[in-house]
Structure 1
Amino acid sequence: MPSSCKDIRAALAECLQNSDCILVDRNKPSDCLRPPLVDTLPTRCQQLKKGYGDCKRGMIDMRKRFRGNKPVAVSTELEAGADEPSHQLYAGKPAFSSAVRRTSGNDEAEVEKSLGR
């Protein structure tokens, strides 16, 4: 569980390294994360900072003690944009498929057809 926030932490560090606060103004990353410089960060970095704080807070939340934090997909869904978003929280196959079967509304007649009556 201590490694559940490592992806979002790496994304935050990369965003900070590419921000004007560090590249142009030559501030330390720790200074850029504190007020008043935190307001100069790009919106994406501010969102990652909030997400990282929520992730760290979730590590000590007793309601999430056994399940752990939700996995964070930082690279594929945020940057490149996934073709199909992943709604799956845990490993394994999804419980429901995205294909919906159309029915006529008369379930008894369809059951009888499938049984051959």
Structure 2
Amino acid sequence: MPKYYEEKEEDGRACAGVREDLRSCLLEHDCVLKEGKTPKQCLKEGHCTALQRTFFECKRSMLDNRTRFRGRKGY
């Protein structure tokens, strides 16, 4: 479930909601909290992959010329 809501202040960056959710998922994961690994190491191990994929698709959609008319993917 996404934690990002439209009432929050926007930071003006592309894909800000997905970025915030991915960040909070990684920082609250047992890999970081209990094992003491960095979030980058946890991403390589395959944690929070759905949000990572959504963030990638959102960033990739910025390069697609069709998104000028459709808008960015993500939230």
Name the TM-score class by shorter chain. Answer: 0.7 to 0.9
State the structure with more CA Rg: 1
The TM-score with structure 1 as length reference comes to 0.49
Tell me which amino acid in the other structure corresponds to 1:47.
A
Other structure's SS at 2:35 match: coil
The equivalent residue for 2:50 is 47
The equivalent residue for 1:6 is 16
Superposed CA deviations along residues 71-100 of structure 1, whole A, max 9, x for unmatched, are 51xxxxxxxxxxxxxxxxxxxxxxxxxxxx
Give unpaired runs (5+ residues) of structure 1. Answer: 73-117
| Aligned-residue RMSD, C-alpha | 1.7
Give unpaired runs (5+ residues) of structure 2. Answer: 1-11
- Structure 1 residue runs of 4 or more that deviate by more than 4 Å after TM superposition: none
Paired residues, number: 64
The one of the two structures with greater contact order (alpha-carbon pairs below 8 A, sep at least 6) is 2
Percent identity reads: 38
Q: How does 1:68-87 map to 2 (within 5 A)?
A: 68-72=71-75
